[in-house]
Structure 1
Amino acid sequence: MLRWVFLDMGIRGGVNPAAAGAVDVLVHAGGSSCANIFQYGNVVSGVENFHRFGGTIVGIMKGFLGLSGAILIQVYDTLCEGDPTAYILILAITPTLTSLLLMPLVKIYGTTTVDDKKHLNGFSSSALVVAAYLMVVIILDNVFTLPSWTRIITFMFLLLLLASPFGIAAKAHKDSERPSIETSPLMDDSEPMPTKYGEYHQIPGEPDRFKEVASSSNENLSNDHLEDGIDMNLSRAMLTVNFWLLFVAMICGMGSGLATINNISQIGQSLGYSTIERSSLVALWSIWNFLGRFGAGFLSDIMLHKGWARPLFMVITLATLTFGHLIVASGFPGNLYIGSVMVGICYGSQWSLMPTITSEIFGVRHMGTIFNTIAIASPIGSYIFSVRIIGYIYDKMATGEDNSCYGTLLTLMGDNINGKQYKVVQV
């Protein structure tokens, strides 16, 4: 969001578009790096603190990250409409202050209670309520012209909903301070129970069998530990097939998903969708992205506890993503409504499944380094699909005096160009 506001402000202010674009790339690179640093601490700490429900906690955090775009749009429309400079100032100050104030709370606590699932369900319910509220506000805002006082009221209510997780956290902290097991004086003064066969006395000169057994057991456990891939570092992880399978899967899933959002407005215009319909499709992408991030983490935890492997859920979402691309490419009336929902949900699901699967395969110690390395597949996939494939087709099929194909219904052997590009993407 900051990138586009900054770019628009620079061009309106008379700055050369090429220079504004170069600064935009620099801002985006710096912002992405800072965001990855924040995500690293949050995701790793969350998985460590809620190791039995890693998918759920990652889904909640990634889900709110997916909602951030829709939330920031509400901030701009309510507080800074027509004043991008003030909006940039808010975006520069607020995240910094928030991080400085809350970073002492982000740590590994090393305690697990039976109420973890109950509190996580509370966070999940809060996130779903926020997403539903934003969806209603976005639809109303695109269909009707809301007056300023209505925007202020809806924004204040949104702030209350966003503050609700603090109440859940306070209640969880209060519950954790209650002693769950009361100690008995008999337990404190109890003597060690005698062994069944008496005490073992070592014969002088006999080798210490206990030490040999312990050392051999530790060696076997260590070998099993390494063979299972637990706590691998990045260099060792990159030598495994699992790492590159995840990397290629993310190129296909994330790259094609980004290609969709980059071209959804052009596809809608070529298929005859109105301006309001296209704006709604783009605005609601954050909601579908959230549902994918949150839902994949939550449902994969349920499936995992029932004996289903989490990578199987990734296979299902990637297959559904392919089906969504086919729907977008079909061109039947209303196809973008169905296709954008399916692609958005399946695209978002990769962002919660990938970190959780990474922690389960390679361990938690170097999880941040490994999953951020795998996340490089997202810009690589976006470049391959959006630039090398879709961009090539646009350039090849461009017609008219300005060599532009934006919003035009181009045909190639009876197929719409957007349909053709999506047939390429889904393969």
Structure 2
Amino acid sequence: MCEALRFIVFMIKSRWFTVFASFMMMACSGGTYLFGTYSKELKQTLGYDQSTLNLLGFFKDLGANIGIFSGLIAEVTPTWFVLLIGAAMNLFGYLMMWLGVTGKIAKPAVWKMCTYIAIGANSQSFVNTGALVTCVKNFPESRAIMLGLLKGYVGLSGAIITQLYLAFYGNDRKALILLVGWLPALIGVIFVYTIRPMKVESKPDDLKVLFYFLFVSIAFALFLMAITLIQQSITFSKGTQALTATAVCFLLLFPLFISISEELDNFKLKEHPKPPTQISIVHLEKYPSNQAISAPNTLSISSSSHPGGTPFFSNIFNKPPRGDDYTILQALFSIDMLILLIATLFGLGSSLTAVANFGQIGESLGYKPETIHTFMSLISIWNFFGRVFSGFVSEILLMRDQIPRPLMVTIVLFIATTGYLLIAFPFPGALYIASVIIGFTLGAQLPLVYFILVERTKPFYKGNIYKKLRENAEQVKAEEVEEMASPSFSNGFK
């Protein structure tokens, strides 16, 4: 019993449990993608016109994409404090919206509703800063893959919350706002102390475990898509919907079993360490005592440094070569950042606008309210596939074929235009295809932008730094073995 208790404590403090907790938080933090589902309730209950609804959608996107506040707070406070702020903001913002829509408080002014939805949406940036950034730090060798997985669960969150909402509240779209408010806050409070940076050395099996997570998440996404399409043609009873929600929760918790399996071996090794192998040490006076030993094949990583006393604004326009570290001001005044900003503003902005108004578009084309749920779920599911694609596939294409990520962004934006054209020139069933295309391209864009911003140093710009380190280590080891086999080394034992 004591050993089981020690394992539970060890598990909660482990690196893989941090990954699972981050999955849970990400899977419930995509309330912004459900705006198209409950926007009609805001319009009818509060008497808004389409322009006011678009204003609310603008403040939703504004709050969701301003991450500077969470980043600054994270610089001076621990991770748990950042996550608690995010949970409080999420609960406050969406709870006030729900109170206004249900008439439990006086009808809020438009500026108040804009403030509420901006605060609720901005909580997503605190979750990203607390959970996503922490996991990327804990897995530096696989940060692109980790980023794709975590952002993928954000993409799935819309479909996950939809299934839970149908099981809890039926088809009451006002209650969806309440669910989006309390569920992420509850998950954040439960896992707030388990997510933290750890100084743990990466292992060769880490990539294999991440692929296990990938396979589970893909199976989860396919299950959600199948359920969504079945619900389009068959009306589920309350019991069937509860059973579906139970299956969703089980698949959502499945990564926990992978984490337990991985940490169980680490716990056994810690509790019962293997005895050290006895070796004999031969002292060789190969180097003089006052001579520094330097490896000829080491990889040096230099970061940009500035001499003491130099003003921080003195080198704004004296930028380092492309691929080196930039300061914030150097990045703001660089052509590369300007191009990336324009591509993100118009590319990602167009996709977010289409998603926010998808419910209104579907109703204007004569689709039923149940079909609107299908569209939003398809967008969420394919959002997941886009995020995972940008994480795993872009890393493979970069390493194997040297295809740069900016070119991948261009291709994704080109594909997104076909979805917009399907909305502009619709035909029967066109919105099903458009929801898939827009969901996929929306999911793929943002992680690619993150990757481009993160890959700042030359070793990452030219390839995987850890691959280079391993190659150097193997080369040094081979030279040592060759040296040991030489006659001069053998004479040292005689």
TM-score (norm 1): 0.69
Query: Is contact 1:60–1:293 with CA below 8 Å preserved after alignment?
Result: yes
- Within 5 Å, give how 1:144-183 maps onto structure 2: 144-176=234-266, 178=269
Residue-by-residue CA offset, 1:109-130 (whole Å, 9 max, x unaligned) = 3411111111111111121122
Unaligned runs of 5+ in 2: 1-30, 39-93, 307-319, 459-494
CA displacement at 1:242 relative to structure 2: 2.3
Q: Is residue 109 of structure 2 the alignment partner of residue 109 of structure 1?
A: no
Computed over aligned residues only, the root mean square deviation of the Cα atoms, in angstroms, reads 3.7
CA displacement at 1:69 relative to structure 2: 1.9
CA displacement at 1:140 relative to structure 2: 2.6
Question: Which residue of structure 2 lines up, in the alignment, with residue 326 of structure 1?
Answer: 421
User: What residue identity is the alignment partner of 1:283?
Assistant: S
Residue-by-residue CA offset, 1:323-350 (whole Å, 9 max, x unaligned) = 3323333334433222221121011111
Question: Which residue of structure 1 lines up, in the alignment, with residue 279 of structure 2?
Answer: 186
Deviates more, 1:329-338 or 1:227-236: 227-236
Distance 2:131 2:352 in 1: 24
User: What residue identity is the alignment partner of 1:343?
Assistant: I
Question: Which residue of structure 1 lines up, in the alignment, with residue 151 of structure 2?
Answer: 62
Query: Is contact 2:383–2:440 with CA below 8 Å preserved after alignment?
Result: yes
Question: Which residue of structure 2 lines up, in the alignment, with residue 356 of structure 1?
Answer: 451
Query: Is contact 1:143–1:276 with CA below 8 Å preserved after alignment?
Result: no
Q: Is residue 237 of structure 2 the alignment partner of residue 142 of structure 1?
A: no
Distance 2:333 2:196 in 1: 32
Question: Which residue of structure 1 lines up, in the alignment, with residue 380 of structure 2?
Answer: 286
CA displacement at 1:359 relative to structure 2: 0.9
Q: Percent identity?
A: 27
Distance 1:93 1:331 in 2: 36
Question: Which residue of structure 2 lines up, in the alignment, with residue 337 of structure 1?
Answer: 432
Unaligned runs of 5+ in 1: 202-209, 364-427
User: What residue identity is the alignment partner of 1:264?
Assistant: F
Residue-by-residue CA offset, 1:393-417 (whole Å, 9 max, x unaligned) = xxxxxxxxxxxxxxxxxxxxxxxxx
- Within 5 Å, give how 1:329-408 maps onto structure 2: 329-361=424-456
Distance 1:340 1:85 in 2: 24
TM-aligned CA distance change 1:330 to 1:191, over 3 Å: farther
Question: Which residue of structure 1 lines up, in the alignment, with residue 329 of structure 2?
Answer: 235
User: What residue identity is the alignment partner of 1:143?
Assistant: S
CA displacement at 1:57 relative to structure 2: 0.8
Query: Is contact 1:62–1:294 with CA below 8 Å preserved after alignment?
Result: yes
TM-aligned CA distance change 1:165 to 1:190, over 3 Å: farther
Name the SS for the 2:193 alignment partner.
Answer: helix
CA displacement at 1:14 relative to structure 2: 6.8
TM-aligned CA distance change 1:231 to 1:331, over 3 Å: same
Name the SS for the 1:142 alignment partner.
Answer: helix
Counterpart among 2, 6, 11 of residue 101 in structure 2: 11
Residue-by-residue CA offset, 1:241-269 (whole Å, 9 max, x unaligned) = 22222211111221110121233344444
Q: Is residue 409 of structure 2 the alignment partner of residue 314 of structure 1?
A: yes
Distance 1:290 1:359 in 2: 21
Deviates more, 1:88-97 or 1:309-318: 88-97
TM-score (norm 2): 0.61
RCO (CA 8 Å, sep 6+): is it higher in 1 or 2?
Answer: 1
